[in-house]
Amino acid sequence: MDAGQQSRRRIRPPEPLVMSQAPPTPAAFRCPISLEVMRSPVSLPTGATYDRASIQRWLDSGHRTCPATRLPLASTDLVPNLLLRRLIHLHAATLPPSPSPEEALSQLAAADGEPAAAEKAVRSLAAKIAPEKGKRASVAHAVAADLESAVPALLSFAKGGAGADARVDAVRILAAVSPELVAYVTAHEDGAEGEKVKKEKRGGKVKMAVEALAAVLLADGVGDEAKEAVVAALVAGGDLGRLVATLLAAGANGAAVLEAVLTSPAADADAKTFVADRSELFPDLVRILRDAASPAAIRCMAAAVQVRGRPARASMVRAGAVPALALAVAAAPTAAAESAMRLLAEAARCSDGKAAIAGDAAEVAAAVMGRMIRVGPAGREAAVALLWLSCCSGGGERRMREAVAAAPEAVGKLLVVMQGDCAPTTSRMAGELLRAVRLEQERKGVATAYDSRTIHVMPY
């Protein structure tokens, strides 16, 4: 073999040109809970690292174990992992530039039916409103410039997005434009158009804005400071009476916003009293409760009663709340059912309320006795207080005693409450109720023995 052949054998053809790609994201950069790249990595005493928002929600829900290792936590202190955060930032610098807020909103609008694309757009926007990015104003400006299409897209994703953290991100973006949303709710109609035309034009915008504000005020992922800023802007918007009417016309979402006004420290006592004293408040809340079975309507009633006490109780009874609350006790989720029981107990503290409860004795007794054992300790105490106030206090109401005595397993359920972990006052009231029920059963000729097929307690 000559020298030319050897030279040709040693020369290799050039490698094909391959365009460089963005490096893959290391698994250690992703939160074990959300599986998303961590923004603020923090470590637990077990050594496991999580994104702060994800692990804080885990701890706030009552867990005291490490999600990854399942080990018990000696402490819930979160230690910032500064080295990992620096590495994540260095990795982010190697990635292609993220789209502008306007481009991300266009991607979100075009991602109808594609959850992955929508989530990517929401993540891009949420990353820009992080405090360390300093781009919150640009995102707010982009969303505000196209509010009527951007807000429905964000709301749709917040209600049906793929991941819990991504849904929270969508609400955080809405919080960034809350001043513009408040302006929709508090704006006055001006101009030469007819009143009917103006109302029709504003109706859809106001409903959209109220729904977005309710999402912000109810979200766990939005800070208290941001929520208080929303309430302060609403109260300072001018005509508070008109604001109340506008929110009540918006249904369950409006009730949620009003509840926030009545409970937030951002609203002063005068504003809360003004809202609680509005003549249309309880009739409209009862309508919302009947039409939408809304827990927000129940919570708003409870907040108004908390603010005004006796006058609010009387207004609630006059508005016909008793039968609507009885239905909520029977069919609403546990937390809402407990709130409805507490409101009925408040109604029973006044003579008109006690009469209204007696007028619907069969429905109220059936709902309360049927739910008494299927709620938490606070709900059971509220149920006993309601029944005692309507059956025993001040002589009680005969119709309520008859209805409670006729309820299935009434004696057994009262015995369960008495022998459970309840306050001494509740145990005493349950004992008086038990005696009243037995006397009523004896008067009706019903055997005093109780049905213990499903409830096993020692006789009283």
Q: Which of 247, 243, 265 is nearest to 256 (CA)?
A: 247
Tokens 């460089």 identify what position?
20
Q: Which of 52, 57, 49, 48 is nearest to 39 (CA)?
A: 52
Three-class secondary structure of residue 261 per DSSP: helix
Confidence of residue 308 (pLDDT cuts 50, 70, 90): very high
Number of Cβ within 10 Å of residue 188's Cβ equals 9
- Of 68-77, 414-423, 447-456, where does mean pLDDT reach its minimum? 447-456
The percentage of the chain sitting over the pLDDT mark of 90, rounded to a whole number, equals 40
pLDDT tens-digit map of 150-208: 888 888 878 775 567 677 888 888 888 888 888 888 876 554 444 544 555 566 788 88
**Is residue 339 a contact partner of residue 299, using CB atoms and an 8 Å limit?**
yes
Number of Cβ within 10 Å of residue 298's Cβ equals 29
Distance set, CA 271 to CA 218, 232, 253, 267, 399 (Å): 21, 10, 20, 6, 40
Three-class secondary structure of residue 72 per DSSP: strand
pLDDT of residue 120: 78
Residue 455 or residue 381, greater confidence: 381
pLDDT tens-digit map of 78-108: 999 999 999 998 888 777 766 777 777 777 7
Confidence of residue 458 (pLDDT cuts 50, 70, 90): very low
Q: Which of 392, 410, 398 is nearest to 447 (CA)?
A: 410
pLDDT of residue 23: 63
Distance set, CA 259 to CA 62, 120, 210, 229, 244 (Å): 25, 33, 13, 15, 11
Q: Phi first, then psi: give them for residue 231, nearest 5 degrees.
A: -65, -45
Residues 6+ apart with CB under 8 A from 368: 326, 329, 341, 344, 383, 386, 387
pLDDT of residue 197: 40
Q: Which of 430, 440, 445 is nearest to 361 (CA)?
A: 440
